[in-house]
Structure 1
Amino acid sequence: MLGHIAVRLVQALVVMLVMSVLVFVGVYAIGNPIDVLIGPDVSQELRLQTIAHYGLDRPLWEQYLTFLGRVLHGDFGRSFVFGMPVMDLILSRLPATLELTLAAVCGAALIGIPAGIYAGYRPDGFASRLIMTVSILGFSVPTFWIGLVLIMAFAVELQWLPAGGRGETVSVFGVEWSFLTLNGLTHLFLPALNLAFFKLALMTRLARAGTREAMLSDTVKFARAAGLSEWTVLRRHVLRLIAIPLVTVFGLEFGSTLAFAVVTETIFSWPGIGKLIIDSIQSLDRPVMVAYLMLVAFVFITINFLVDLAYVGLDPRLRKGGAR
């Protein structure tokens, strides 16, 4: 087990190093942020001083080595636009995105998995057909269109919920959270629902397919022959058989939602890192872009590592294999 963890950690470090090279070269080789930072009517002397100040006059490989040395000390540089450390800027926006992601993915899992299991257990029932119809809509309808419909229906026509913003927040250990206030919850509901719709459809269909397959397995047949109740069969055997793919999808969807909630945050004016990266791309704020992409890579690597550990906890065969 410890050997497996050590190998995975080494692999993660190699992947992060390769990603740092690809991200840095990809971002710093495109465009010229000086054209955005200063006006076209400034003197050539001031232009050259600005280029030298940001180190853009040095070769790309030298800029990368300087960047890598700072990163090893936890310094991603300063934002060209905001004039503050990049990590402070990202960490100030991260709680908003993390809160939205947790609400969307956990809500989708809590609703989608039981609905999918029921649809797989009673595939010919009316409720099961209705569940699968809703899941098809979740895959088919674009996220931005759903968001606009939600705003039009609940914010404009019914005026039940606000159309955007984060609302009131409460500081816990120096971090602002909106779900701890009623006003914050009303602001959180629509963007979380919009973000969860696709995840809900995915979880539902995956749970249904796994349940349909598990119900035909010998494990379930023997459990029924032993006289176990249907609820016990579903809870102890079916759910355990479909747990590994569900954990995998939950982890990957959490990472992708955290990293790419750009559309939802833009539509609902949610002050998260998705909206920050859009503004940074428009202004060619290279340090923010690089730090964001590195954060995305780190999130996915960490989630994959945690999913691997969850496999060991869910599947006894993997524990035995690790011991051997």
Structure 2
Amino acid sequence: MLLFTLQRMLQSIAVLLAVSVAVFLAVYAVGDPVELLVNPEATQLEREAMVSRLGLDQPVWMQYFTFLSNAVQGDMGTSFVHAEPALQLILSRMPATFELVFLAMLVASIIGIPLGLYVGLKEENRIARAIMTGSIFGYSIPSFWKGMVLILFFAVWLQWLPASGRGETVSVFGIPFSFLTVDGLRHLAMPVINLAIPNIALITRLTAAGASEARMQDYVKFARAKGVREKRIVRRHILRNILIPIITVLGVEFGSLIAFSTITETVFAWPGMGKLLITSIYQLDRPVVVAYVMLVTFIFVVVNLLVDFTYALLDPRVSLSERMS
């Protein structure tokens, strides 16, 4: 266990370093933030003063090592636009993104797993075939198009739900949450649905494939021959044995949604990290972009590590050494 943890930590540090180099160089190569920040009527001296203040007069390698040495101390730089620490700015938007992603994955799991079990156990049924066909569309339709259709239908035509914003929030330990208020839930409904639809389709298909294979296994046939009730067979023998790939997908998708919820947050003007990233890219706010990518990479690493440990907890036959190899 200790050896596995140490090796994964070293791998994680190597991944973070590689990502930091790639992202820093890519962001450095795009545009000149001074052109967006400085007044068009500013003098050359004022421009040079701003370049010096932002540290852009140094060679790129020196800028990177300055960033790296500060990052080790928890300082990811200061936003060019907002004039506040980039990491603090991102963390202030994190609760909104986590709330959106967590609820989307919860909805996807609650709907996708039962649908997948139904399809896998009754795959010749017409309804099951219709569900599988619908899952193809659910996974294939672009998020921005789904978002605009949801806004058109629920916000414009029916006028049931608000089209943008986060709505009323309630603070718990200083962290604002929208799902604790009726107005907040109304604002959450469409972006959660928009994020959940492709994951419902993915989980449905994954669960259906696992259930279809598991129901033909000898241990399921033996349980039926013993007269075990069908509900118990599904719950104890089929579902429990297909949870490992489902949990893996849920973990990976959770990290993916945190990183790539930018489209949904932009369409619905949801004040999360994704919307901040898009705005920062437009404004060439380099510290915020680099800090965002580094934070998201760190979240991916932590989620994958937790998935590995969950493997061993769910199935004792799967050892950490096997997962490591």
Q: TM-score range by the shorter chain?
A: over 0.9
Q: Are positions 1:214 and 2:214 aligned together?
A: yes
The aligned residue for residue 310 of structure 1 is 310
- 1:257-286 alpha-carbon deviations (Å, 9 max, x no partner): 111111111111111111111110101000
The aligned residue for residue 262 of structure 1 is 262
Unaligned stretches of 5+ residues in structure 1: none
The 10-residue stretch of structure 1 (137-146 or 85-94) with the greater mean CA deviation from structure 2:
137-146
Q: Are positions 1:192 and 2:192 aligned together?
A: yes
The aligned residue for residue 131 of structure 1 is 131
* Residue aligned with 2:13, SS: helix
The 10-residue stretch of structure 1 (218-227 or 17-26) with the greater mean CA deviation from structure 2:
218-227
The 10-residue stretch of structure 1 (92-101 or 221-230) with the greater mean CA deviation from structure 2:
221-230
CA distance in 2, matches of 1:165, 1:4: 44
CA drift at 1:320: 8.8
- 1:33-77 alpha-carbon deviations (Å, 9 max, x no partner): 111111343222221111111111111111111111111111111
Flag the 1:192–1:320 CA change in 2: closer, same or farther, 3 A: closer
CA drift at 1:219: 2.3
Tell me if the contact between 1:86 and 1:291 (Cα under 8 Å) persists in the aligned partners.
yes
CA distance in 1, matches of 2:142, 2:72: 40
CA distance in 1, matches of 2:22, 2:136: 37
TM alignment of 1:29-178, pairs within 5 A: 29-178=29-178
Tell me if the contact between 2:308 and 2:320 (Cα under 8 Å) persists in the aligned partners.
no
Flag the 1:145–1:214 CA change in 2: closer, same or farther, 3 A: same
CA drift at 1:319: 4.1
TM alignment of 1:210-289, pairs within 5 A: 210-289=210-289
CA distance in 1, matches of 2:151, 2:272: 19
TM alignment of 1:284-299, pairs within 5 A: 284-299=284-299
CA distance in 2, matches of 1:2, 1:315: 19
CA distance in 2, matches of 1:158, 1:50: 50
CA distance in 2, matches of 1:232, 1:177: 37
Q: Are positions 1:28 and 2:46 aligned together?
A: no
Tell me if the contact between 2:309 and 2:320 (Cα under 8 Å) persists in the aligned partners.
no
Tell me if the contact between 1:23 and 1:290 (Cα under 8 Å) persists in the aligned partners.
yes
- 1:290-321 alpha-carbon deviations (Å, 9 max, x no partner): 00110111111111100000111112112496
CA distance in 1, matches of 2:252, 2:297: 12
The 10-residue stretch of structure 1 (79-88 or 1-10) with the greater mean CA deviation from structure 2:
1-10
Q: Counterpart amino acid of 1:215?
A: R
TM-score, scaled to structure 2? 0.95
The aligned residue for residue 15 of structure 2 is 15
TM-score, scaled to structure 1? 0.96
* Residue aligned with 2:317, SS: helix
- 1:73-129 alpha-carbon deviations (Å, 9 max, x no partner): 111111101111112211111111111001111110111011101110011223312
Q: Counterpart amino acid of 2:261?
A: A
- 1:147-184 alpha-carbon deviations (Å, 9 max, x no partner): 11111111111111111111000111111111111110
CA drift at 1:209: 0.7
The 10-residue stretch of structure 1 (39-48 or 290-299) with the greater mean CA deviation from structure 2:
39-48
* Residue aligned with 1:317, SS: coil
The 10-residue stretch of structure 1 (286-295 or 85-94) with the greater mean CA deviation from structure 2:
85-94
* Residue aligned with 1:179, SS: coil
The 10-residue stretch of structure 1 (140-149 or 262-271) with the greater mean CA deviation from structure 2:
140-149
Quote the RMSD (CA, aligned, Å).
1.4
Tell me if the contact between 1:79 and 1:85 (Cα under 8 Å) persists in the aligned partners.
yes
Flag the 1:162–1:319 CA change in 2: closer, same or farther, 3 A: same
Identical positions, percent:
53
Tell me if the contact between 1:313 and 1:319 (Cα under 8 Å) persists in the aligned partners.
no
The 10-residue stretch of structure 1 (278-287 or 227-236) with the greater mean CA deviation from structure 2:
227-236
